[in-house]
């Protein structure tokens, strides 16, 4: 690890307790991720942009800034992951937070439909790229500080992102109501708030010092959760079939969950008979399960194992999607939807720790940052499949049955995926004790 990457990392880690201060970094990470997760509150702005007199965008047009932002996230995570492994987390996180906040502020200067390009540039290109830069940093950083609690800690790191929209949506809605004809003006105070809080969190980021260890902790070579025992480079990870298997698992888990999430409000009204207001309230409340799922499943994975956790996530998504079109009881329908949201968040909460187990944490930023292409693929393809199959005749049964079967078939991947074989010298061969599991 480079000197730059460790600059300023020894504060709070010297003495008899090298882990001192690491929980403070979790709080700083949550502060950053809550700000970044506000991107999921876009539905508030989408609705306002379709109704406001100067805008009156079509539904597809109102979706463009958000879609561009999601697409830019992958570019940001890829670059941010590579840079932070070399230069340390603080620099990348601060730059990402600044670009994200400024992008939202730029979006506030778009005033009518003729300036949709400016809204896309600010909220989509700049904010999306900054979000990706900053998002990957706490995930990689905290795994290095918490090798003994890798599942739980990565769940917390991305859990804040999941809860971001839950906090932001009602605030944004209240601000929009004050100026319904100028919905983009809301981005100015929100962008400033994102900038302040995310930078404040990022400034505390640091890697542990060279030789950092948690007293009493040894990487597991047997049991439910095992470690490959080696830090792979990004190039080495990409030469293993396991990297592609994990990316596929993430892609399919995201695809299954977001296919429903993209149609959630309409599903509540068309299938379960909710009013439009009740459906909107239910969808907003379900955001809690998205955030909670990231922490819940990540913690569970530390007890039952990473692959069994993904089997459970995909199985529950699949079964719930098969049942949802046929359930008209309002309460049972909500429960099934909550499970889908819980599992969708769980995929994001569990995969960072899984990648750390498989490929080590030294280059976690670059390896997992590239793996997040699954987020973009699933996030784009899933809603397109759902929308095409539902169609104008509202054929939810065909759509959700198809996607449910895809999730159930995907269970094959975690069933066959095992740790990569650890390369040792020729006299020892290529099989380690942990790689045979």
Looking up residue 398, the CATH number of its domain turns out to be 1.20.1250.20
Within-domain flag for 357: yes
Specify the number of domains making up the chain.
Answer: 2
Among 209-218, 330-339, 365-374, the range scoring the smallest mean pLDDT is 209-218
* pLDDT for res 13: 41
pLDDT band at 16; cut points 50, 70, 90: low
Q: Let me know whether 204 and 311 are in one domain.
A: no
130 located within any domain: yes
Domain end marker among 187, 218, 249: 218
Lowest mean pLDDT among 103-117, 219-233, 343-357: 219-233
Res 126 pLDDT > 50: yes
Q: Higher-confidence residue: 300 or 380?
A: 300
- Please report, rounded to a whole number, the percentage of residues in the chain having pLDDT higher than 90: 34
What's the pLDDT tens digit per position in 19-43? Answer: 778 888 889 999 999 899 888 778 7
Query: pLDDT class for 221, splitting at 50, 70, 90?
Result: low
Tell whether 201 and 240 lie within a shared domain.
Answer: no
Q: Verify that 281 and 429 share a domain, yes or no.
A: yes
pLDDT for position 377: 86
Domain, as residue range, for 252: 228-437
88-99 average pLDDT score: 92
Same domain, 202 and 299: no
With a cut of 60, say whether residue 406 has pLDDT above it. yes
* 354 in the same domain as 326: yes
Q: Mean pLDDT across the chain, nearest whole number? A: 83
Residue 280: per-residue pLDDT? 75
Region 65-79: mean pLDDT is 85
Residue 197, CA distances (Å) to 9, 28, 36, 220, 330 in order = 22, 9, 10, 37, 38
Once rounded to an integer, what is the mean pLDDT over residues 399-421? 93
Over 60: is that where the pLDDT of 433 sits?
Answer: no
User: Is the same domain home to 212 and 238?
Assistant: no
Query: For residue 65, what pLDDT is reported?
Result: 87
Residue 127's pLDDT is 94
Query: Which of 166, 184, 218 is the C-terminal boundary of a domain?
Result: 218
Same domain assignment for residues 264 and 338: yes
Q: What integer pLDDT is reported at residue 11 of this predicted model?
A: 40
Condensed to tens digits (0 to 9), the pLDDT of residues 181-218 reads: 888 999 999 999 999 999 999 999 988 887 787 776 66
Question: Among positive and negative, which fits the CA dihedral 189, 289, 262, 312?
Answer: positive
Q: For residues 338 and 247, state if they share a domain.
A: yes
Both 183 and 98 in one domain: the answer is yes
pLDDT bracket for residue 53 (50, 70, 90): confident
Residue 145 domain flag: yes
Give the sign of the dihedral formed by CA 163, CA 145, CA 372, CA 296.
negative
Q: Closest Cα partner for 263 from 325, 191, 180, 173? A: 325
Q: Read off the pLDDT of each residue in 96-105 and give the average, rounded to a whole number.
A: 95
Give the CA angle between residues 73, 156, 91 to the nearest 5°: 50
> Looking at the structure, do residues 176 and 280 belong to the same domain, yes or no?
no
* Cα gap 195→213, rounded to integer Å: 33
* CA proximity to 208, closest of 10, 27, 350: 10
Give the model's pLDDT for residue 205. Answer: 92
Residues 236 and 383 in one domain: yes
Asked whether the beta carbons of 152 and 298 are under 8 A apart, the reply is yes
Cα of 16 vs its chain's centroid, Å? 35
Please compute the mean of the pLDDT values over residues 331-341 and round it to a whole number.
Answer: 95
Give CB contacts under 8 A, 24+ apart, made by 386-392: 386/259, 386/260, 386/262, 386/263, 387/262, 387/263, 390/263
Asked if the structure places residue 8 within a domain, the reply is no
Specify whether 72 is located in the same domain as 180. yes
Average pLDDT over residues 135-154: 82
The predicted structure's pLDDT at residue 229: 64
When pLDDT is averaged across residues 5-18 and rounded to a whole number, the result is 48
Task: Evaluate whether residue 24 is within a structural domain.
Answer: yes
- Give the distance from CA 208 to its chain's centroid: 24
């Amino acid at each position: 690890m480079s000197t730059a990457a460790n600059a300023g990392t020894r504060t709070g880690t010297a003495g008899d307790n090298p882990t001192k201060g690491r929980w403070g970094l979790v709080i700083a990470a949550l502060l950053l991720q809550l700000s970044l997760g506000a991107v999921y509150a876009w539905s508030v702005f989408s609705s306002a942009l379709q109704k406001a007199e100067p805008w009156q965008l079509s539904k597809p047009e109102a979706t463009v800034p958000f879609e561009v932002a999601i697409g830019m996230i992958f570019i940001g995570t890829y670059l941010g992951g590579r840079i932070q492994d070399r230069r340390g987390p603080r620099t990348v996180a601060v730059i990402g937070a600044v670009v994200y906040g400024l992008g939202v502020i730029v979006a506030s200067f778009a005033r009518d439909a003729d300036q949709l390009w400016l809204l896309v540039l600010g909220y989509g290109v700049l904010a999306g790229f900054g979000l990706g830069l900053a998002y990957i940093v706490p995930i990689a950083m905290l795994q290095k500080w918490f090798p003994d609690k890798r599942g739980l800690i990565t769940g917390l790191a991305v859990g804040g992102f999941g809860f971001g929209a839950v906090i932001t949506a009602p605030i944004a809605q209240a601000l929009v109501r004050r100026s319904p004809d100028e919905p983009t003006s809301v981005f100015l105070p929100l962008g400033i708030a994102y900038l302040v809080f995310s930078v404040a969190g990022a400034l505390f980021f640091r890697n542990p010092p060279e030789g950092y260890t948690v007293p009493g902790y040894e990487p597991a070579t047997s049991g439910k959760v095992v470690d490959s025992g080696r830090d792979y480079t990004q190039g080495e990870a990409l030469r293993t079939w396991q990297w592609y298997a994990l990316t596929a698992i993430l892609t399919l888990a995201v695809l299954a969950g977001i296919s429903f999430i993209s149609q959630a409000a309409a599903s509540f009204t068309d299938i379960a008979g909710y009013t439009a207001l009740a459906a909107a309230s239910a969808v907003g409340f379900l955001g809690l399960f998205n955030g909670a799922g990231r922490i819940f499943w990540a913690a569970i994975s530390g007890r039952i194992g990473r692959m069994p956790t993904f089997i459970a996530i995909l199985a529950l998504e699949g079964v719930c999607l098969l049942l949802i079109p046929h359930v008209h009881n309002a309460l049972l329908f909500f429960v099934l939807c909550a499970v889908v949201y819980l599992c969708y968040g769980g995929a994001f909460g569990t995969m960072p720790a899984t990648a750390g187990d498989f490929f080590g944490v030294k280059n976690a930023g670059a390896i997992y940052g590239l793996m997040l292409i699954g987020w973009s693929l699933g996030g784009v393809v899933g809603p397109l499949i759902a929308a095409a199959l539902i169609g104008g005749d509202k054929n939810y049964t065909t759509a959700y049955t198809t996607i449910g079967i895809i999730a159930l078939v995907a269970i094959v991947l975690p069933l066959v995926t095992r740790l990569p074989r650890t390369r040792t010298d020729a006299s020892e061969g290529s099989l380690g004790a942990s790689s045979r599991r």
